[in-house]
Amino acid sequence: MSLGKSPILLSTKVLTESQKASIISNGIALIDYNAINVTLKPTFTPKKVKNAIFSSKNAVKSIKKYNSDLFSGNIENCFSVGKTTTQFLTENGQKVTKTTQNASELAEFIIKNHKNDAFYFFCGSRRRDDIPAALKKAKIEHFEVKTYQTELKPRYFDEIFDGILFFSPSGVESFVAENKIAQSTAFCIGATTASKAKKYTKNVQLATTASINSTIELAVNTLKNDKN
């Protein structure tokens, strides 16, 4: 970044007006777009689920839209990845038994504490292998329910960004399909997203909590300090 020049931040997700304002008010230029397109899918689910795993907010959205009865006391134990997912589950009246920062941590917890239980894993079409691979290796019975479709929407940029906000591994994949992260700092919402970004750059920073606002705050504080 040149001396006196405003830093430029790219968000791989369209932000709310208040989120945009929190960036721009700090003297940071912003470009935002949707690097992925998510389509919720109707799917078969049992009327009652003893143990449910949700690894993303989109999976919760899909169940709310197409299988809302599950959130009426029909899930006994709910396991969640990330603060945002847990918050959305709670807002829909679902008590969450266990929350972890990333999928690997949740898989470890389940293997340690629920070795003899069966699980329904509500996920997307491009879900990572962390949970199913670990449960399969531990011989824990589980059923995948793909509740949404994720489509990459690659877009080329000729700007050089001081920072890039990434909110999912798929968002990283979409960006690098047409661009290089190069010297930009990759600000990542969670450990799985950071792990994907590290395949393309060493300059990765991880939000303290897995939320959009926390990721934005990290980027703003970092770029403000760099500017000064």
Quick one: which of 147, 129, 160 has its CA closest to 9?
Answer: 160
Q: Are residues 60 and 142 in the same domain?
A: yes
- Separation in Å, CA 211 to CA 67, 125, 176: 25, 22, 22
Q: Are residues 126 and 71 in the same domain?
A: yes
pTM, rounded to two decimals:
0.81
Q: Is residue 89 part of a domain?
A: yes
Dihedral angle of Cα 131, 132, 136, 138, to the nearest 10 degrees? 10
Q: Are residues 58 and 138 in the same domain?
A: yes
Half-sphere exposure at residue 195, Cβ-oriented, CA atoms within 13 angstroms: 9
Distance CA 179, CA 173 (A): 10
Q: What is the pLDDT of residue 191?
A: 83
Handedness of CA 11, 17, 18, 24 (dihedral sign): positive
Q: What is the pLDDT of residue 4?
A: 56
Q: Are residues 23 and 108 in the same domain?
A: no
Question: Structurally, how many domains does the chain consist of?
Answer: 2
Q: Is residue 178 part of a domain?
A: no
Q: Is residue 168 part of a domain?
A: no
Phi, psi of 132 (to 5 degrees): -60, -35
Q: What is the pLDDT of residue 2?
A: 44
Q: Are residues 6 and 63 in the same domain?
A: no
Q: What is the pLDDT of residue 54?
A: 97
Q: Are residues 188 and 90 in the same domain?
A: no
> What is the span of the domain harbouring residue 225?
1-35+153-161+183-199+212-228
pLDDT tens for the chain, 228 residues long, are: 544 589 999 999 999 999 999 999 999 999 999 999 999 999 989 999 999 999 989 999 999 999 999 999 999 999 999 888 999 999 999 999 999 988 899 999 999 999 999 999 999 998 888 899 999 999 999 999 999 999 999 999 999 999 999 999 999 999 999 999 989 999 999 888 999 999 999 999 999 987 899 999 999 999 988 765
Q: Are residues 133 and 228 in the same domain?
A: no
Q: What is the pLDDT of residue 226?
A: 76
Q: Of 103, 121, 147, which residue constitutes the final position of a domain?
A: 147
Distance CA 38, CA 41 (A): 10
Distance CA 184, CA 9 (A): 9
- Tell me the CATH number at 104: 3.40.50.10090
Q: What is the pLDDT of residue 122?
A: 96
Which are the contacts of 156, defined by CB distance < 8 A and separation ≥ 6? 178, 179
Q: Are residues 116 and 94 in the same domain?
A: yes
| DSSP per position, 193-211 | HHHHHTTT-S-EEE-SSSS
Q: What is the pLDDT of residue 145?
A: 95
